[in-house]
């Protein structure tokens, strides 16, 4: 039985990898295919598109129509393969030496394939509470799908008891990670000849001042670190990722762009950073810029603000995952996931999925077959745990 289940899952993963569902290109085709598979097992499915219609969230349910139950959550988008040196076609799954190679095998179509493989067994079981399937778009570029989906769940009044997010954790139980807040700051100055810098507004110069301000905020954030914070490092971090601007060496640059991020350990830190930057912009930099050029500007665009997963003393999702895996504790990870978005609407959440994050996003991405088998066993135990007790 277990061998047949694993072979079925491998075949399904082969089909899912063949969908080139790179975030920029949309995930409509793969999501509609998953909906067909779930509906064939009797799942009640609804989908919601983004504004383009090319990206879809899917939410499906097997079991009784009632509160409670468990969400199995995964994303169907993958990162690009451009400029990566793959040994084989990244969208053709290759099995070799106990590994399954292909884009998305590890992050995270392996988990999605395992969930859909087990749908038939969930449907045959006499479940006391429902099993929900939540498959989202655009996780890789800002968790936009999960933000829309969790808002819909809250609006619909759905109240699952737990969410298991199957990001690659080597099937270890994870109950915490930092948030990931990403921004782009645009600076508009005034171009001119490099020999007369006082007659222009150098956008790169002011973007550099913004960058230095971010660096100077690091010490303040270290001082704000919560006592006994479990994260490493135990404080909110800031990283200026890319600064671009200008044309040639003798022209005052009129445009500049700064991409930067912070990883909050507590919500108040983001407000603290934003307030300090807003003060510098309004009271120092803009007055100087606009004294020369009234249309000069510094504008920060929010790319994404993805909440972290906060470790909590009471977490039924974590306790369930520990029970199913036999783990005697939970850990933390440095990367972000959709888990904090479910937690934010009151659904206890945990991360537990097959594969290693070290394999994600790389050329020749792979998933160990043993990890896929362990995930299937985990889901089998979940179904048994949620089934009604057999009458004597």
**Residues carrying an active site annotation:** 77, 139
Which class for 333: exposed (0-12), middle (13-18), buried (19 or more C-beta within 10 A)? buried
Nearest one of 144, 123, 143 to 133, comparing CA atoms: 123
CA distance 196 to 204: 16
HEC assignment per residue over the chain: CHHHHHHHHHHHHHHHHCCCCEHHHCCHHHHHHHHHHHHHCCCEEEEEECCCCCCEEEEEEECCCCCCCEEEEEECCECCCCCCCCCCCCCCCEEECCEEECCCHHHHHHHHHHHHHHHHHHHHCCECCCEEEEEECCHHHCCHHHHHHHHHHHHHCCCCCEEEECCCCCCCCEEEECCEEEEEEEEECECEECCCHHHCECHHHHHHHHHHHHHHHHHHHHHCCCCCCCCCCCCCEEEEEEEEECCCCCEECCEEEEEEEEECCCHHHHHHHHHHHHHHHHHHHHHHHHCCCCCCEEEEEEEEEECCECCCCCCHHHHHHHHHHCCCCCEECCCCCCHHHHHHCCCCEEECCCCCHHHCCCCCCEEEHHHHHHHHHHHHHHHHHHECCCCC
């Amino acid at each position: 039985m277990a061998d047949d289940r694993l072979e079925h899952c491998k075949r399904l993963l082969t089909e899912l990898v063949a969908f080139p569902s790179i975030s920029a290109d949309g995930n409509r085709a793969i999501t509609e295919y998953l909906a067909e598979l779930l509906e064939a097992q009797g799942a009640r499915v609804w989908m919601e598109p983004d504004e383009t219609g090319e990206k879809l969230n899917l939410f499906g349910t097997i079991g009784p129509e009632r509160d409670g139950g468990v969400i199995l959550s995964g994303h169907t988008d993958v990162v690009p393969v451009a400029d990566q040196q793959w040994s084989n076609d990244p969208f053709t799954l290759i099995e070799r030496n106990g590994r399954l190679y292909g884009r998305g095998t590890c992050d995270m179509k392996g988990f999605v394939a395992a969930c859909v493989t087990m749908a038939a067994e969930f449907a045959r079981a006499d479940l006391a509470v429902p099993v929900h399937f939540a498959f989202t778009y655009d996780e890789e570029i800002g968790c936009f799908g999960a933000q829309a989906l969790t808002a819909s769940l809250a609006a619909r009044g759905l109240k699952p008891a737990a969410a298991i997010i199957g990001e690659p954790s080597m099937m270890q139980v994870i109950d915490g990670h930092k948030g990931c807040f990403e921004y782009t700051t645009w600076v508009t100055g005034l171009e001119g000849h490099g020999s007369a810098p006082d007659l222009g507004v150098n956008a790169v110069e002011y973007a550099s001042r913004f960058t230095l301000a971010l660096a100077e905020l690091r010490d303040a954030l270290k001082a704000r670190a919560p006592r006994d914070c479990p994260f490493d490092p135990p404080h909110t971090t800031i990283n200026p990722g890319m600064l671009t601007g200008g044309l040639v060496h003798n022209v005052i640059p009129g445009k500049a762009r700064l991409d930067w991020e912070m990883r909050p350990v507590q919500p108040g830190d983001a407000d603290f950073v934003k307030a300090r930057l807003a003060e510098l912009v309004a009271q120092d930099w803009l007055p100087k810029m606009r004294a020369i050029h009234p249309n000069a500007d510094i504008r920060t665009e929010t790319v994404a603000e993805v909440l972290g997963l906060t470790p909590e003393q009471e977490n039924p999702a974590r306790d369930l995952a520990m029970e199913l895996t036999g783990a005697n504790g939970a850990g933390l990870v440095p990367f972000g996931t959709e888990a904090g978005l479910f937690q934010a609407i009151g659904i206890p959440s945990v991360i537990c999925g097959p594969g290693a994050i070290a394999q994600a996003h790389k050329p020749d991405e792979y998933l160990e077959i043993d990890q896929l088998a362990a995930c299937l066993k985990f889901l089998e135990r979940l179904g048994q745990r949620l089934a009604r007790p057999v009458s004597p």
